């Protein structure tokens, strides 16, 4: 496994791989890798000749007062995990070679970026779309692997790939959870014991919603209000939003259908957590 920091060197390597007709699977990350990332890497390993993971804590997707400085960084551990999983290359750029002096081009996926998490985090998805567009140009993958945990991010990146004709297939892999239901996230590292236990309200609320749907409830408003009640019973939890939307446009739906996305963001202590489920029934 090789670590490369220089975008030009990386693109030259990717071009060589293309010439040799090798398929490239790419998993973009901000590091602090966990089993959710590993599931993407494993899938990429099964499906491609070359697997590339990028590790870059992208400053343009953090707002003022967000956790850019304290975002967990553990390169050695991440590199060991990647090596064990058979990753071929880690792309490890730094801020100055991704955003050199004078950098002034940004990608904004209109409308979608301003909904749900975008309301609370203005500019976040502009930063995400910009860095992913740059990474796709540098890495030139055949397939991009994303996690469903960041459902809105996956929708926005898929939209950008389509709108800007990036020649890449996007695969969105299921959320990985701990045994008790907590969705894996690098930010779970911030939770103390009490907060971690409170954080279970997110997955509990989603399980409640799924149970209501399997009992025949289709009214989105009723489901949201029961989820709200459940979460508000926890004193540490502060709801940012609970939304039931269609997966393409992220527009609120009144009536649940197969494929509807139930997404929520809840702050536990100082930690804003997100989770979601896609409704599936016949
Ligand atoms: O999901 C993440 O870790 C980041 O948003 C991504 C896609 C690597 C872009 O910085």
pLDDT digits (tens, 9 = 90+) for 249-268: 999 999 999 999 999 999 99
Catalytic residue among 30, 37, 173, 199: 37
Nearest ligand 1 atom, CA 147? 1
For the cut 90, the answer to whether the pLDDT of residue 43 exceeds it is yes
The encoded tokens of residue 260 equal: 């509807």
Residues with CB under 6 A from ligand 1: 28-30, 58, 61, 128, 131-132, 150, 153
Q: H helices of the chain, where?
A: 7-19, 35-47, 75-84, 95-98, 117-120, 124-139, 151-163, 193-198, 200-214, 220-232
- What pLDDT shows up at residue 282? 77
Domain boundaries, the chain: 2-173, 186-277
Question: What is the third-level CATH fold of 186-277?
Answer: 3.30.1300
Nearest ligand 1 atom, CA 128? 9
Would the pTM of this model clear 0.85, i.e. be above it?
Answer: yes
Ligand 1 center–CA 89 separation, angstroms: 17
Cα separation, 240 vs 257, whole angstroms? 24
- What pLDDT shows up at residue 268? 97
CATH 3.40.50.360 fits 2-173, yes or no: no
**DSSP structure string for 214-253:** HTT--BHHHHHHHHHHHHHTSTTEEEEEEEEE-TTT--B-
Ligand 1 center–CA 122 separation, angstroms: 16
Nearest-CA residue for atom 2 of ligand 1: 29
CA 251 to chain CA centroid, Å, is: 19
For the cut 90, the answer to whether the pLDDT of residue 39 exceeds it is yes
Could you tell me what percent of the chain has a pLDDT over 70? 100
- The answer to whether 54 and 82 have CB atoms below 8 angstroms apart is no
Ligand 1 center–CA 170 separation, angstroms: 14
Torsion of CA 258, 259, 260, 263, to 10 degrees: 130
Cα separation, 43 vs 39, whole angstroms? 6
Cα separation, 66 vs 282, whole angstroms? 41
The encoded tokens of residue 194 equal: 């009490």
Question: Phi and psi at residue 273, in whole multiples of 5°?
Answer: -115, 150
For the cut 80, the answer to whether the pLDDT of residue 64 exceeds it is yes
Catalytic annotation present for 37: yes
For the cut 90, the answer to whether the pLDDT of residue 52 exceeds it is yes
pLDDT band at 281 (very low <50, low <70, confident <90, very high): confident
């Amino acid at each position: 496994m090789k670590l490369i920091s220089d975008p030009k060197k990386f693109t030259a390597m990717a071009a060589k791989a293309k010439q040799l007709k090798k398929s490239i699977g790419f998993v973009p990350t901000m590091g602090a890798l966990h089993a959710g990332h590993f599931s993407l890497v494993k899938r990429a390993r099964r499906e491609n000749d070359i697997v590339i993971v990028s590790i870059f804590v992208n400053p343009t997707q953090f707002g003022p007062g967000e956790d850019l400085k304290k975002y967990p960084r553990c390169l050695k551990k991440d590199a060991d995990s990647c090596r064990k999983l058979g990753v071929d290359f880690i792309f490890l750029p730094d801020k100055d070679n991704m955003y050199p002096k004078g950098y002034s081009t940004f990608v904004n996926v209109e409308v979608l970026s301003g909904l749900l998490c975008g309301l609370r985090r203005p500019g976040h998805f502009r930063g995400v779309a910009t860095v992913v567009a740059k990474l796709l140009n540098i890495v030139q993958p055949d397939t991009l692997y994303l996690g469903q945990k960041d459902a809105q991010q996956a929708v926005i990146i898929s939209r950008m790939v389509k709108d800007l004709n990036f020649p890449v297939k996007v695969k969105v892999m299921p959320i990985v959870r701990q045994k008790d239901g907590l969705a894996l996230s690098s930010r779970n590292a911030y939770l103390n014991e009490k907060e971690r236990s409170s954080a279970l309200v997110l997955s509990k609320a989603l399980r409640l919603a799924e149970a209501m749907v399997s009992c025949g409830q289709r009214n989105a408003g009723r489901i949201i209000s029961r989820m709200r009640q459940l979460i508000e019973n926890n004193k540490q939890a502060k709801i940012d939003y609970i939304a039931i939307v269609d997966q393409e446009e992220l527009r609120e739906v009144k009536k649940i259908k197969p494929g509807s996305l139930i997404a929520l963001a809840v702050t536990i202590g100082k930690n804003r957590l997100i989770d979601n489920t896609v409704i599936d029934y016949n």
